Amino acid sequence: MSLAELGWDDERDRAFAALRNAGRTPARVARVDRGTALLYAAAGPVRARIVDGRHRSAAPAVVTGDWVALRAGEPPTVDVLLDRRGTVRRPASGGGVPDQVLGTNIDVLAVVEALDPAPEALRVGRLLTLAWQSGAVPVLVLTMADRVADPAAVARQLADDAPGVPVHPVDATDPAQVAVLRRYLSGGRTLGLVGAPGVGKSLLAATLAATATTDGRAATTDSRATPDDDGRAATPGGGRVLVRVPSGGCVLDTPGLAGTGLLGAAEAVDRTFADVVALAAECRFPDCAHLTEPGCAVLAAIDDGVLPAQRLANWQRLGREIDWETRPQEARIASAARWEQRRAQRRARG
Ligand SMILES: Nc1nc2c(ncn2[C@@H]2O[C@H](COP(=O)(O)OP(=O)(O)O)[C@@H](O)[C@H]2O)c(=O)[nH]1
Ligand SMILES: [Mg+2]
């Protein structure tokens, strides 16, 4: 197994020189289980014990996608992480729960959303925000194209909301259609997959990893490509898992993100909605709420048909969500209680 196919390059090789002189070999983390990691090394897959780095205060935990220094032994161990590029995090959900790394060394991050049931523009915006934050290049993959009448039309609509992001509607059960994503794996790149549960992430990963036969259909999944060292069929299911693609590159599958918070994401939202932000900067009043104010450049753009009204609405809703996420928890509870009260009053009025 060539390290280059897994994303090893000259820069990483230079950074590794001293470790190599100390007898270590580089390897990439395919899966982390309790205390051990399954690694892809030049010699093949190897399971290694993770040496507890807690005595070194700043030592980060090993995550799927990491490059590590492998030390031969019985058992082999890993204790050094190389610098990361492109780290995808599930944001902290408040209440002191820290953010969670979903995977790292991701070059291209596909936000996966199904066309059926109809895509949720807000969720897509939220996930694209997470993608921009990761440092990876975002793309949007719309699955279940076989289940809707006009997938291209829906794709165009979502593309309007995501300037600069390539959009690919696909039937994920059809390897010939999934092949459009292979361009993101060339040169040993890693394609990450994020999205709600059940949108087809794992199917996309398995289809990309399957060896194509001459008739273009997927053969059985290449067992060397699947991160299961017990010989059982790989069931990436709940976990974060790095799947090797035999023709080069890797796919990093993640568990479903049902509700993805936006703590600290204001900047990334502004990037996703760069056009609205640029317009808002031209409003006459600096505190313009883009509702009825005179001299509002955003409303003018909507009137002129330059900006879809829905895009302003999505930007405002995401903005409110950020306020919500960053408000202290007591304020959130109080506000939720008030909301419940108002709802009860409305119900009582009938
Ligand atoms: N018809 C159809 N079924 C799909 C498509 N993508 C995924 N599925 C099915 O949807 C279900 C969930 O897919 P899975 O890959 O497990 O979703 P994940 O939770 O995002 O990993 C599986 O039964 C897939 O076969 C698609 O494009 N078309
Ligand atoms: Mg899955």
pLDDT digits (tens, 9 = 90+) for 245-290: 988 999 999 887 765 454 345 666 777 788 888 898 888 887 888 9
Ligand 1 atom closest to residue 112's alpha carbon, by position in its atom list? 20
Architecture of domain 4-81: Beta Barrel (2.40)
pLDDT at 281: 85
Collapsing DSSP to helix, strand or coil, 32 comes out as strand
The Cα 188–Cα 8 span in angstroms is: 8
Domain with CATH 1.10.40.50 in the chain: 273-349
CB of 207 sitting under 6 A from ligand 1: no
Residue 108: is its pLDDT beyond 90?
A: yes
Ligand 1 site, residue 171, Cβ cutoff 6 A: yes
Taking the CA of 201 as reference, the closest ligand is: 1
Half-sphere exposure of 81 (CA within 13 A, CB side): 21
Overall fold of domain 88-253: Rossmann fold (3.40.50)
CATH 3.40.50.300 domain residues, the chain: 88-253
Angle among Cα 282, 307, 143 to the nearest 5 degrees reads 135
Name the range with the highest mean pLDDT among 80-89, 105-114, 312-321, 328-337. Answer: 105-114
Quote the pLDDT of residue 230: 37
Distance 251 CA to ligand 2 centre (A): 12
| Cβ of 235 below 6 Å from ligand 1 | no
Closest CA to 32 of 227, 232, 230: 227
pLDDT at 297 over 80: yes
From ligand 2's centre to the CA of 239, what distance in Å?
Answer: 8
CATH 3.40.190.10, domain 273-349, yes or no: no
CB 241 less than 6 A from any atom of ligand 1:
no
Residue 211 burial (C-beta neighbours within 10 Å; 0-12, 13-18, 19+): middle
Predicted confidence at residue 317, as pLDDT, reads: 79
Residue minimizing CA distance to atom 6 of ligand 1: 200
pLDDT band at 350 (very low <50, low <70, confident <90, very high): low
The set of long-range contacts for 304-307, using a CB threshold of 8 Å and a minimum separation of 24, is: 307/275, 307/276, 307/279
Domain with CATH 2.40.50.140 in the chain: 4-81
